């Protein structure tokens, strides 16, 4: 059910963006420097601005995720080594009258 809802939301979002781009497909002048002017379409300018704003947060997210995966891996390895060490340090239990609890 959730996958269907997510798909519907994505389809509506893409349709709205396509609708916006179709009705705002006008040329705009972007002055980069005094003597350098770029003529492009408005949706392209908005897409580039969005991607410039998204890139730093995406890079931060990827590095934080990588760092957390490394940390989790180190903790799991440490936990596994502690578990195997504690299991090998215990003497074997034998069934006898002194081991009854």
Question: Structure tokens of 12?
Answer: 């509506």
Residue 91: inside a domain, yes or no? no
CB atoms within 10 A of CB 2: 6
| Domains held by the chain: number | 1
Is the separation of the CB atoms in 43 and 27 below 8 Å? no
Instruction: Assess contact for 41 and 25: CB atoms under 8 A.
Output: yes
Evaluate whether residue 96 is within a structural domain: no
Q: Which residue has the tokens 């590095």?
A: 63
- 28 within domain boundaries: yes
pLDDT of residue 92: 60
Task: Look at residue 96 in the predicted model and tell me its pLDDT.
Answer: 60
Question: What pLDDT is stored for residue 34 in this prediction?
Answer: 87
Report yes or no: 49 and 37 within 8 Å, Cβ to Cβ: no
Q: What is the pTM of this model?
A: 0.66
In a domain, 32, yes or no: yes
Look up residue 89 and give its two tokens: 């340090």
- Domain encompassing residue 50: 2-85
Residue 69 in any domain: the answer is yes
For residue 21, what pLDDT is reported?
A: 93
Q: What is the pLDDT of residue 91?
A: 62
* pLDDT block averages, 10 residues each, the chain of length 101: 95 96 94 92 94 97 98 95 80 61 53
């Amino acid at each position: 059910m959730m996958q269907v809802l997510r798909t519907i939301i994505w389809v509506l979002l893409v349709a709205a963006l396509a609708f916006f781009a179709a009705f705002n497909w006008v040329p705009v002048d972007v002055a980069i420097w005094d003597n350098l002017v770029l003529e492009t379409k408005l949706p392209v300018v908005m897409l580039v601005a969005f991607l410039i704003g998204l890139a730093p947060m995406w890079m931060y997210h990827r590095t934080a995720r990588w760092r957390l995966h490394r940390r989790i891996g180190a903790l799991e390895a440490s936990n596994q080594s502690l578990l195997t060490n504690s299991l090998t340090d215990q003497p074997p239990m034998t069934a006898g009258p002194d081991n009854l609890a």
